[in-house]
Chains A and B, each alone.
Chain A
């Protein structure tokens, strides 16, 4: 239904229920606002948007007034303009005369409006100002209350969009203030959304204080997680002043998280490889901006030519002496599609090895394996946008709010609009507060829980028989396997109340559209693939595949882990999930590459480590990965990498892995490169360089090409676009995605042609393997369970503020300051039994290693289970974790092992 009205003499048709402001903007009329944000409910406080509506005695606030047919509106009424001038003068009368906040922040919406109204320095309504001291206590956000105009946007964004409610109004009238609870200092998630939308600079980025005004803004994609947030990087010279969120990008539309908003300055850290701040050891104090080569126990700087020559010699020497199967490479889920593509091309076509794998093995190998087995492709079936389309969301082992904070906003919005949420997680994470049902399972018992749910769905007739008959196969075997998992039996294994298992099964089974989202809570187990198959069984049994708001959706961890998998940073495929054993596929690639491709399946990440330890693999090229910290059992990984004849690491920091290298090649951050990332929604997005690399670093794409040329593989692309165009040639699913189209915004593959819009969800009509496959699953307990020697169960994961092995976030000024060290989260009952005080150092020991870390006593963990984030090298969770593998996909059991805990001895 639409409504027609007249605005400044122009007839406008807008949807019924629109506001006058929306209608005016649709008519191309500028109506100023200070308190309006399209993402929040209309507020109507600032009164800058007053307009005249014919037949009404008083001026009307355009932002709050719904349109009505036949309305005659004037936005240019002189009396109303005079009134608004008076209102803005009143506003300025309670605003610092020479507002340093406005000057410093670069936000001047208030002053722009004053200038537009012709308001000068002389204020007829001058009077006393509020005196509220500026708060400067956290590393991210300065709160300058004197500049606040009480527009309330920060409060509404924090509540209505972020779902955090860290701030609210306090007091009233002239003393009205935006306050944290009890008017204490701000202590929130520090997503910085409020800073982005503050119209006066009352909220400012602390990291930007004292920096010059930006001279340009570069649109690019965040380099942290798989959400793929669009961001605008404001740069002065070659330095980032601030980062703001891109509006209109479907991945984030105006939102960022603390990492994207404030975690951008790690590239300036003195530890930066190739930067002028790097010092090699305290003894020399020599600053080096160059590649490094091993020199005894340390390193010495060398020229790029020398470094690249050494890399080529090292790799070719091993290839000559031991054959190509003695070489391996780890590409990077942090690097661009183009870099990953060239890297695997270098290894396959140049060095003739398929021993290629990367950290995806540690995160979602089970997801991709399970999805491939059930549906045929290893990607999210739907997208994070589908939260809004689902009637029920089943979140299994995903701490979305902390690990994909911006996607979680879509989930929160969906919940506000009626979507129901089931959470399966052993810890009382924040997701639980948003859930209808919390399945608080014992770690490692996912399959029993999910089999229990399948049992209820089948027993209560909630299965979609028509879908099962038409589109699936193997149902009977899967149903038979689930038969003995009654809710009571599942409850005994999982520790979850059987009624909750029944309730969850009913909620999921009866939903019109039910979507499953999973994280690593379900994949990082020896039963990881089976767990995933339990999820695909649930989706197939209830017909929840192939429609919007349904499917099975692994939320990918790294900014480009989807892309690094798409680009075949894995041992058995060529780019685009094309099997490497298929001669036709190899022939196609050979035709484009003009080089042979080895016809055997390479080793997986953990197998490469084993082979290095065994001396079978002697040379390894690591691109931007930190396996020492990210892989299970630090001791073993360190020994394996130390056993190599030649290790080359290309990275931005001297990571724990790089310290073991023979040659270290200084690469570039995501802010210094061009190319594309593919987010967890399969959305390919354009990455643009905002900064020049430091003096001693080279762009990764150039390094890979230089190495390729030196090992005899001609590579001379004219930039990333040329690389991408080759990818489009070999992988039909992205053939329609050109750089020119990406200027308009990201596109979700499959997109086979230039006029194809992209694909928001998969399997509408058919599966690549024909029918969806059920798989019978049995519950298998984790490999290592607590016993008398190691009485506690350890589970690992991430924490909102930090990212993965911390190499980026811990070198970002703000984040590093906010959460500088690791901890073990332990339940108050266990802490009491161990006699632990808050923050007390404790020794955590497993069969593989020992770390000392502070105790964070919290009821988030369950009794008997402790949690350690894996961000901190000095307290590395993966010193403790188990290397036992899932046989099907080779993912290690990072989520469950047994540990012993004791107060640390006095130093």
Chain B
């Protein structure tokens, strides 16, 4: 593919899954018609998503010498007019579809009257580092990736001893972003220390929590960064084969990863003697078949081996005995992207910074849903009310589900808790996947707990008794409460049941499976009490005499 010169004007259409769902393909086609009729050379580019789910489809326009302008809520019908104005002497409009301008490039002449995105409330609280390329570069383009510093980290790493690479990652303090929170450097060191030299690395992109989409954003928007992180993990641990494991439903992410890997192979970045060194590495993509449990690393490995998705007890950890019984490092996609930033810089402070941001997926009853990246330590309140714009519409905040169903619900008075694995774990929650689902005051927490407990029951693989049977019993008991048939004593049985499932289950999923119930019981006891008295406080449930 012939790449147009850099001095061409460029139009970027955000075609992440969120954009595509909002009609980005039609917008892209309309933009293509505009370009054909424009009478000048314009380069039209598909990008990933810059995270503003609430403004999709998003289009950005760059005229050399001027900042990139971001437009939101673009329609196929309206895009020609919008572009026509942008390229006309009138220039971009100050309001309407215009979200803001990227003024980071000091040499470009800013547009007057247009908000620099640094001042936009959605971006103001963010520290986009891992997400920096998403929505900005062409995810297929090796040139774009390398032009923005890509594949410099693996080149650096290949010049180091694997032990130095591990030390570097250790020093940064990077902890796994998948929810476990184990120090990534420790995990690698453990695998590298095994006597068995047949080792494997796996990128876990099997994002399954309801409301989690930040990994998808990375894989769609910056697939090379995922690959580069996995390359570094492989080199550091002495693996020569790696897998990127992603949900089959993530078709766009899969396609972009496949293209990126193909480019890498062609360029000699994968295969025998990568980057001209003596180190061999092959990466392969594997599709998960949609079972939630596949995100659990041992279950993931089981399916890679052709077995059903059932987790194995740890220890032994996969880093000791994983895929086909060999040492295997499983890292979350977000962790690996952080790795490429950490190893890519000589600046320890910058590396530490990369180790200390977190991607969050905002959804539910929130004004500005989207994928965001904040420094660890930012409070949930700042995220929800600052970046996210608070509760959508004129409802009041009631709860936020943190880290998927496993994290449970938090009430308003805990929103000053910082985004951090330790802090959330201290209050009985988990940062997990970083999904934040906001719930407004029209929602009955008993009904919502039941909804998510049913999710847990459906997601249970069935291997261990507490999770297989216990989650079903939890749902049954919540049904009795919702219907107003339960007695106060049954709440005690409910708590006992939660305890058996939490303490007795085999894997993290099972142990966290009662969290929707336990957290709802702890923080929203009034909702339960009301049902025991025969009514639903929100009127959402059929309770009491009308109940079946």
Contacts and interface: CB of A to CB of B under 8 A. Distances in A.
A50 B504 CA distance: 8
A65 B315 CA distance: 6
A549 interface: no
Contacts of A128: 472, 476
A65 B313 contact: yes
Interface stretch (B116-124, B216-224, B364-372, B458-466): B458-466
Given A124-B496, A150-B468, A173-B458, A83 B504 contact: yes
B460 A45 contact: no
21 contacts: A42-B313, A44-B464, A45-B463, A45-B464, A47-B505, A47-B506, A61-B313, A64-B312, A91-B465, A94-B469, A125-B469, A125-B493, A127-B469, A127-B472, A149-B465, A150-B468, A169-B310, A172-B462, A173-B468, A174-B457, A176-B463
A127 B505 CA distance: 19
Contact of A175 (B462, B464, B497): B462
Contact of A90 (B458, B470, B511): B470
B471 A173 contact: yes
B189 interface: no
A47 B469 contact: no
Query: A-B pairs with the 5 shortest C-beta distances?
Result: A176-B462, A86-B500, A64-B313, A173-B460, A44-B313
Nearest to A61: B313
Nearest to A171: B462
Interface string B300-315: 0000000011101101
A605 B468 CA distance: 63
A45 B506 contact: yes
Given A66-B316, A93-B469, A150-B468, A59 B462 contact: no
A91 B457 CA distance: 15
A7 to B, nearest CB: 18
Interface in A127-178: 127-128, 149-150, 152, 168-169, 171-176
A39 interface: no
A58 interface: yes
Given A58-B503, A93-B469, A46 B464 contact: yes
Contacts of B316: 66
A604 B472 CA distance: 71
Interface string B494-512: 0011011001111000010
B291 interface: yes
A175 B457 CA distance: 10
Contacts of A3: none
B473 interface: yes
Contacts of B470: 90, 125
Range of interface residues on chain A? 35 or more
Given A47-B504, A172-B460, A91 B315 contact: no
B97 to A, nearest CB: 46
A595 interface: no
A174 B476 CA distance: 13
A87 interface: yes
A174 B466 contact: no
Chain B interface helix/strand/loop/mixed: helix
Nearest to B493: A124
Given A87-B504, A125-B473, A46 B461 contact: no
A150 B462 CA distance: 8
A169 B309 CA distance: 10
Given A66-B315, A83-B500, A86-B500, 13 more contacts: A44-B313, A45-B465, A65-B315, A83-B504, A84-B504, A90-B469, A91-B469, A93-B469, A124-B496, A172-B462, A173-B457, A173-B459, A173-B472
Given A172-B291, A176-B468, A44 B506 contact: yes
Interface of A: 42-47, 50, 58-59, 61, 64-66, 83-84, 86-87, 90-91, 93-94, 124-125, 127-128, 149-150, 152, 168-169, 171-176
B476 A127 contact: yes
Interface of B: 291, 293, 308-310, 312-313, 315-316, 457-466, 468-473, 476, 493, 496-497, 499-500, 503-506, 511
Nearest to A170: B308
A86 B496 contact: yes
Contacts, number: 110
A172 B309 CA distance: 9
B516 to A, nearest CB: 16
A128 B293 CA distance: 24
A87 to B, nearest CB: 5
Contacts of B469: 90-91, 93-94, 125, 127, 174
A75 to B, nearest CB: 16
B504 A173 contact: no
A125 B313 contact: no
Contacts of A50: 504
A712 B246 CA distance: 86
Nearest to A63: B313
A526 to B, nearest CB: 47
A134 B493 CA distance: 32
Contacts of A149: 465
Contact of A44 (B293, B308, B312, B471): B312
A43 to B, nearest CB: 8
A173 B292 CA distance: 12
B398 to A, nearest CB: 29
B468 A125 contact: no
Nearest to B311: A44
Contacts of A93: 469, 473
A338 B274 CA distance: 73
A429 to B, nearest CB: 25
Given A169-B310, A174-B460, A127 B473 contact: yes
Contacts of A127: 469, 472-473, 476
Contact of A61 (B460, B506, B511): B506
A50 B466 CA distance: 12
B547 to A, nearest CB: 17
Contacts of B464: 44-47
A574 B453 CA distance: 77
Contacts of B468: 150, 173-174, 176
Contact of A59 (B308, B463, B472, B503): B503
A84 B310 CA distance: 21
A90 B465 contact: yes
A168 B462 CA distance: 13
Contacts of B313: 42, 44, 61, 64-65
Contacts of A91: 465, 469
B310 A58 contact: no
Contacts of A42: 313
Contacts of B496: 86, 124
A168 B310 CA distance: 12
Contacts of B308: 168-169
A173 B462 contact: yes
A65 B472 CA distance: 28
A127 B470 CA distance: 10
Contacts of B459: 173
Most B-side CB within 10 Å, residue of A46, A47, A59, A127:
A47
Contacts of A65: 313, 315
Contacts of A150: 462-463, 465, 468
Contact of B473 (A47, A61, A90, A169): A90
A686 B175 CA distance: 63
Contact of B504 (A86, A168, A172, A176): A86
A94 B457 CA distance: 15
Most buried by A among B463, B476, B493, B511: B463
A90 B466 contact: yes
B457 A47 contact: no
A903 to B, nearest CB: 44
Contacts of B493: 124-125
Nearest to A125: B473
A64 B497 CA distance: 24
Contacts of B473: 90, 93, 125, 127
Contacts of A58: 503, 511
A897 B99 CA distance: 89
